[in-house]
Amino acid sequence: MTNKTNMTTPIKIQTGCADLELFPDIVVKRIDLELQRPPHNAHTELEILKTLSNKHVIPLLGSETSPRYVTFKFKRYQCDLNQFMDQHWKAKYNPYLLDNSTKTYSNTIPLDHSTVIIRQIIEGLVYIHGNGIIHRDVKPQNIMLNSYNEVVLGDFGISYNRNLDNEAKTCDCSTSIYKAPELLFSVSNYKFEIDIWALAVLISQLWNDKTQSKSKSSKVIDIDFDECSDIKLVLTLFDKFGKPSNEDWPQVTKNESFNGMFGNVSSDNFLHRRPIDEQLIQVYKWMPLITDNPKLAKMWLRMVKFDGNLRISAEQLLVSI
């Protein structure tokens, strides 16, 4: 890797097994292989990035490897989507409350701008899925942007390449509230649909109007990002969507551990068995910014099918949005 980075003293960040150096236009990421733990795999990440070339995937500018380290050089973007959303949640105080310590944050990202962001993420997913790549960690922190109309997928550190990886897929992937329900019950024959579920959760944040906490900005998965556990997530999903039947979720509901924990009786109010008008009303409550927009609401409902085989694909999403 040629050393053409700006010689300005970089900002240095240490995250787990990775050291980041942030120059004005370049980010250098160095992975310490001795500290790396599965499912992170720097060599797989490098091989994936070398094969990808798309305007909605972060470009690899250079790399080098040694027995202990793998080093990547990327273009630097202004912020990630998590930071972008944080900047656009504006605090409001109620002047009639004596205690003004309680804030309400309002989402100031216009719907047309958030939809443009989502479309670019989908275009990135269409491209990587078409090349056999499951990202496995779609979340705002891994989406980089310079503006709402310049967005790329980043961080392929735990991605799975169906063309290179032959070992069994781990279910210990994805992060916090973005984890697809099948991963919570060790369904290892998943494919690209886990990225679609993660994107649906992200969308529920972008299309929410108000929140009491920036770190808990989805009305669907209303768990603090840093406090989410698998059991909290399972209980929240069943509280919000209802408990699926064997027919609703065949990959999981015959699982002994699932039935041992939750029984084999489904909820009468499982979301996807309700009349479509009731489903839409619920989506509008969760995502008020798309109220009375049935096209977007129906698209989102197809993203959150518990049966991954019925979940909408990235290509189908591109037609729907």
Q: Where are the domains of the chain?
A: 11-75, 79-320
pLDDT in tens, the chain (321 residues): 444 444 578 899 988 889 999 999 999 999 999 999 989 999 999 999 999 999 999 999 999 999 999 999 999 999 999 999 999 999 876 666 655 566 789 999 999 999 999 999 999 999 999 999 999 999 999 999 999 999 999 999 999 998 876 666 888 889 999 999 999 998 888 999 999 999 999 999 999 999 988 888 999 999 998 899 999 999 999 999 999 988 889 888 777 777 777 776 677 889 999 999 999 999 999 999 999 899 999 999 999 999 999 999 999 999 998
CATH number for the domain running over 11-75: 3.30.200.20
DSSP states of 124-152: HHHHHHHTTEE----SGGGEEEEETTEEE
Q: 79-320: what CATH class? A: mainly alpha
Beta strand 210-211 with 18-22 is unpaired
Token pair recorded at residue 229: 């556990």
Strand residues in 172-267 grouped as ranges (E): 210-211
- Domains 11-75 and 79-320 fall in the same CATH topology: no
Is the pTM of the predicted complex or chain greater than 0.75?
yes
